[in-house]
Amino acid sequence: RRGPGVRAHLQGDAHGRDAEAVGGTLRGASAAANLESEHVAKVLDVADSETGDPYIVMEMLSGADLAEVLRQRGTLKVNDACDYLLQACQALAEAHQHGIVHRDLKPANLFLCRRADGSELVKVLDFGISKLAASDLGVATATQSVFGSPLYMSPEQLRSSKRFDARADIWSL
């Protein structure tokens, strides 16, 4: 669960070994902050604290991620699965339109909550390892690391952390 006042504490170690990961997470969160879809968890603030530690403040969500729902309920009804998938696709359509590839779509990053009218709402979480188009970043990623959850990754994403596009998100869904 995430919400105002709850900050994801993002800090590298004393030797800066995680500085690249922290920077990428903050860039991904900043990019997600510009997305307006009701199906994307709202990022309210991305900044550094007075002590210099970076943090992210997100909207408060009540509900459970799809991984937990699947553990509790088992297999979904076809209508529910299609509805959740279509809602996630709406979030991704906007992200992809802005040059953002999520890179870690999996049930744990699809959060089920309710709208004010009681209908189910899927929110895509964790754009922290998202990849922005090179033109948006102005720099290339130097790492050879694989980002994401291997069971949900496209073959292209498994082969290269740089040479894949928005179609990798579609594969993951």
Task: Please name the residues in contact with 4: beta carbons below 8 A apart, sequence gap of 6 or more.
Answer: 44, 57, 58, 59, 60
Catalytic annotation, pick one of 45, 80, 104, 126: 104
165 is annotated as an active-site residue: no
Identity of residue 157: Q
E strands, the chain, in order: 43-48, 54-58, 64-65, 100-101, 110-114, 120-124, 131-132
Catalytic residue positions, numbered? 104
